[in-house]
Structure 1
């Protein structure tokens, strides 16, 4: 390629040519040669394509190891699935100066992860925000390692981050450079908490040691640092909506909606088996529930033998995994109609509970 006329073109001309490509083709073109990589990662080009439609991807979280090897660690990657092209992709995280980076969430092209400090022989977790496409990163103010072990981390499009446990919570805004700490005062450990607009939502078990009873709690972000007031959301019209699901989880939906996902009980008995997996949708404006999706019986047969399954996703896509299945079940409503299909070719050994999050690939700058 050294004799190619393309090397004689001005950078501005090359930027205009490549800016006509979809974001997916731009990402692929960067790996063609060092010259393309330099042109397609320059600040001026990234600014030019900043309004391109994002890549709507499903990212997998790497499995946790209790005692990871400190030497000869394998290269770190973010494995993602493109449901629109039915293809797996891999983004390198080798630009991060951390051991065993563990991505767990994303918002508007930015990926949030825990990473071990390379300067310490002990586990010293740092909370990091990065963009795998621009290979930029920023370390958030230091937290104790206990927060990484016991806290649920929530992020949203306003560069807000929350680490939430049953007893306490930390809140960080992109406009500040420190964490706000306060008591959470929840009745039990929050399950699958999510941030939607200016509120936090979480499921809490208010039942007994012998029988779970799940309820939905919410709190305004503006009140968390003052009154710590959590409100139990319930209406008489809801009836037994929380009793028909086994091990419910919350997933952020489209707009001002949240999804509640769980196994549909065949009866109200204590150890009732499930007949399928149900997706319910709550409109936060009207506080009305409706059924968004129901897993087909043939697909659910693969989950019947598993004692538990994992749920992750967001918007109009929700993924399900269980041990010994070796693939993901995907509910996809992006085309306006809920469709169910399998995602094959899972990275790794294909035997385990996969966890993940939705990732919008963008050339977003760091806050």
Structure 2
């Protein structure tokens, strides 16, 4: 049989044809035939589209705790494409590790905890991986205590931190972790790494009443003999930390931080909440503003749950709670407002709350 006419086209012509497709369609075309896969995985094609295609912004789910020990062949990352309103599945079985558990992301990469094939479960390692190119890098090995109790923070330059209540590890362009005392007044809540600094909420109140404060640590201080956190506060902020119940932080767009929690109906000890409020802090001006609040009809699904989970980054924030069965999504608009909608069809999470992160998928990111 004669070869199809497409086989006779020059490589440059094929590159130009495929480069006109969206990133999502390029990934689908890889599985059509060997020729397409060879063309679309070549270094020359990846270099070409790296200057033309923006990353694909996806919402990735972390597997529930009871699903950490899935079989190697079933290891996968479930992601949601908000633009196409569709769930996708990225196969992770190419990684030669056991008990894979995705926890964080940086542009183009995801970070997972995993066990080396021949190592005991007490020796956990962090793996940086690009699921689109199937390239990965193993960071220096850590113990299971860090994977169980530490929050993994990554910035746009692939600086990595594992933060716990008592200590932290920092890794950047070296072959070892830098360990230091966290020196925080309480367990850090929803810490984030951005603009060369780490931000976290800490409860400085009493056992009977919470009092939340925002703490900051500049990464440049890690090279000095003393590392310290300082509390960010201004008299003009007033009671901004008192109006939210169970606040948590999300990295916003540019130099902005989002603080999210239930909006208290009063300042009494066990006050009920009327909705979920999103506040935005400009780190240059150190001024808060309201970014959005959940519509009342949507909040009714969350009002029966004492706790809800929040994850996201930039202009996308997701909300999940037990027995809700779907995600609520807030997307910030360029004009300053926000759009709220539901995400249905969650893949295999049961009735528990979801955790996750935003994954900026791209073909040119290297671990």
**TM-score normalised per structure 1:** 0.95
In 1, Cα distance between equivalents of 2:122 and 2:2:
47
In 1, Cα distance between equivalents of 2:355 and 2:7:
44
Hey, what does 2:250 align to over in structure 1?
251
Cα separation, partners in 2 of 1:247 and 1:144, compared to 1, 3 Å: same
1:1-367 to 2 correspondence within 5 Å? 3-51=3-51, 52-65=53-66, 68=69, 72-73=71-72, 75-173=74-172, 175-226=173-224, 227-336=226-335, 337-367=337-367
Deviation digits for residues 279-335 of structure 1 (CA, Å, limit 9, x no counterpart): 000000000000000000000000011110000001111000001111000011145
In 1, Cα distance between equivalents of 2:119 and 2:153:
27
Cα separation, partners in 2 of 1:230 and 1:122, compared to 1, 3 Å: closer
Which runs of 5 or more structure 1 residues have no equivalent in the other structure?
none
**TM-score normalised per structure 2:** 0.95
Shift of 1:225: 3.7
Cα contact 2:310–2:355 (8 A) shared by 1: yes
**Secondary structure of the equivalent of 1:237?**
helix
Cα contact 1:108–1:364 (8 A) shared by 2: no
Bigger Cα displacement from structure 2, 292-301 vs 11-20: 11-20
Shift of 1:66: 7.9
In 1, Cα distance between equivalents of 2:25 and 2:334:
23
Which runs of 5 or more structure 2 residues have no equivalent in the other structure?
none
**Secondary structure of the equivalent of 1:49?**
helix
Tell me how large the CA RMSD over aligned residues is: 1.6
Cα separation, partners in 2 of 1:298 and 1:229, compared to 1, 3 Å: same
Cα separation, partners in 2 of 1:225 and 1:185, compared to 1, 3 Å: farther
Cα contact 1:329–1:340 (8 A) shared by 2: yes
Cα contact 1:110–1:364 (8 A) shared by 2: no
**Secondary structure of the equivalent of 2:65?**
coil
Cα separation, partners in 2 of 1:198 and 1:280, compared to 1, 3 Å: same
In 2, Cα distance between equivalents of 1:142 and 1:223:
24
